[in-house]
A and B are shown apart, each in its own frame.
Chain A
Amino acid sequence: MSGKAKLHYFNGRGRIFFLRWLLAAAGVEFEECFLETKDDLVKLQKDGSLLFQQVPMVEIDGMKMVQTRAISNYIATKYNLYGKDLKERALIDMYVEAVIDLNELLMTHTFQPADKKEQHFATIVDKATNRYFPVYEKVLKDHGQDFLVGNRFSRADVQLLETLLMAEECKPDILANFPHLQSFKARISNIPTIKKFLQPGSQRKPPLQEKDVPKLMKIFH
């Protein structure tokens, strides 16, 4: 009875984007069940499918998992994308948590009121280029390996790549001063499962457009 994993979310990136990436990078096929209206959300809440009444929810291995971090931890461990021991896990966690922080900034950009957008954009660029990217650039430079941790592909690489691409959507030349991140981006993008996910027609979702924000607010508010 363990069919494909099934994701319940709206048809956009939101909090589930790195889950889709992780599943795709691990070569795991998954189905998606999109919430289009508030009623769709209420139905899931009413039938007891959502532990804390929230999405994302992923049906996987007989569980209805919720909480993005719990789900991604499970997938990463199951598909060997979480390092070989406790110390590698610790490094991966540190790198991933920071990437999540930056992603949060990127993700909330579309929701900023018009008068706050410019300042928010400046904050994104500042944090990305002064706080976060220099760390990963240095990590790659210092060990000279292809992957962030343990000389082996892990969720940290997937999640960093995804963030680099999202940051470039915000500002196309944002990686100008980070040669190691540029080659990292090219290298990881060429991994077959990831290359496939980056192609049109995959389950990767486009950035949220302003015109779609009202629909989203209707479902979740």
Chain B
Amino acid sequence: MAGKPKLHYTKGRGKMESIRWLLAAAGVEFEEEFIETKEDLEKLRNDGFLLFQQVPMVEIDGMKMVQTRAILSYIAAKYNLYGKDLKERAWIDMYVEGTTDLMGMIMYLPFQPADTKEKNLALIIERATTRYFPVYEKALKDHGHDYLVGNKLSWADIHLLEAILMAEECKPDILSAFPLLQAFKGRTSNIPTIKKFLQPGSQRKPPADEKFVAVVRKIFNI
């Protein structure tokens, strides 16, 4: 009875996008059921499908999984993207938490009040270029491998690529001081499953525009 995983979320990136990336990179086909109105969300809640009344929710392997990190950890472990032992896991976790923090800042940008947008964008760029990217640049420099951890593709690489592309949407030349990250980006984008996901028509979602922000506010009452 193991059909394709089924993702329940809005038609935008939000907290589900990293899950889409990970599944796609792992070569796992998945279906999506989109929440378009408040009523769609209420129905999921009333049917008892959402353990804590929240999405993302992913139907996978007979479970209705919720909580983004729980879902991501499960997928990463299941598809061998979580390192070979406890120490590699620890490094992957540390790296992923860093890119999660950075992407979280970028994700909320469209929802910030207009008068704080410029300040927040500046903070994102500062954090990206002084706190986060230097860490990954150094990691790649120090070991000289193609991948962040254990000389093998892992969740950390996929997450970092996602973060790089999101940051470039904020500032196209944001990687200018990071030659190894540029090479990493080129290399990782060419992995067949990822290349496919980066093509038009894939299940990758576009950044939120003002119209979409309004829809999301209505659905979630925020």
Q: Which residues in A have some Cβ–Cβ distance to B below 8 Å?
A: 51-53, 61, 63, 65-70, 73-74, 77-78, 86-87, 89-90, 93-94, 96-98, 101, 131-132, 135
Given A74-B86, A89-B73, A90-B74, verify A53-B52 contact (CB < 8 Å).
no
**Binary contact track B67-80/A, C-beta < 8 Å → 1, others 0:** 11110011001100
Which residue of B70, B90, B96 is within 8 Å of A93 (Cβ)? B70
Chain B 34-71 near chain A by CB (<8 Å), digits 1 or 0: 00000000000000000111000000010101111110
Of listed B61, B73, B78, B87, residue having the most chain A CB within 10 A: B73
Any chain A CB within 8 A of the CB of B11?
no
Measured CB to CB, the closest approach of chain A to B104, in angstroms, equals 13
Please report the C-alpha to C-alpha distance between residue A63 and residue B85 in the assembled complex, in whole angstroms: 15
Contact across chains for A90 and B63 when beta carbons are under 8 A apart: yes
Contact B101 A52 (CB under 8 A): yes
User: Interface centre among B51, B53, B90, B132, by most A CB within 10 Å?
Assistant: B90
Chain A CB within 8 A of B215 CB = no
A135 touches B52 (CB 8 A): yes
Q: Give the distance in Å from the alpha carbon of A101 to the alpha carbon of B98 in the complex.
A: 18
Q: Which residues of B contact A51 (CB under 8 A)?
A: 94, 98, 135
B146 at the interface (CB under 8 A from A): no
Judged by a CB distance under 8 angstroms, whether B8 is at the interface is: no
Within the assembled complex, what's the spacing in Å between the Cα atoms of A69 and B99?
13
Would you list which residues of chain B between 19 and 36 have a CB under 8 Å from chain A?
A: none
Name the residue of chain A whose CB is nearest to the CB of B77. Answer: A86
Q: Could you list which residues of chain B lie within 8 angstroms of chain A, going by C-beta atoms?
A: 51-53, 61, 63, 65-70, 73-74, 77-78, 86-87, 89-90, 93-94, 96-98, 101, 131-132, 135
A73 touching B89, Cβ below 8 Å: yes
A52 in complex: contacting residue of B51, B61, B89, B131, CB < 8 Å: B131
- Please indicate the chain B residues that have their CB under 8 angstroms from the CB of A87 in the complex: 61, 63
26 pairs, A vs B, C-beta closer than 8 Å: A51-B94, A51-B98, A51-B135, A52-B98, A53-B131, A63-B90, A65-B90, A66-B97, A69-B97, A70-B96, A70-B97, A73-B93, A86-B77, A87-B61, A87-B63, A89-B74, A90-B65, A93-B70, A94-B51, A94-B66, A94-B67, A96-B70, A98-B67, A101-B52, A135-B51, A135-B52
A67 touches B69 (CB 8 A): no
Q: How far is the CA of A93 from the CA of B90 in the complex (A)?
A: 16
Report yes or no: A131 in contact with B53, Cβ–Cβ below 8 A: yes
Q: Which of A68, A73, A135 has the most CB of B within 10 A?
A: A73
* Nearest chain A CB to B214 CB, angstrom units: 24
Cβ of A61: which chain B residues have Cβ within 8 Å of it?
87
CB < 8 Å neighbour of B74 from A66, A93, A98, A132:
A93
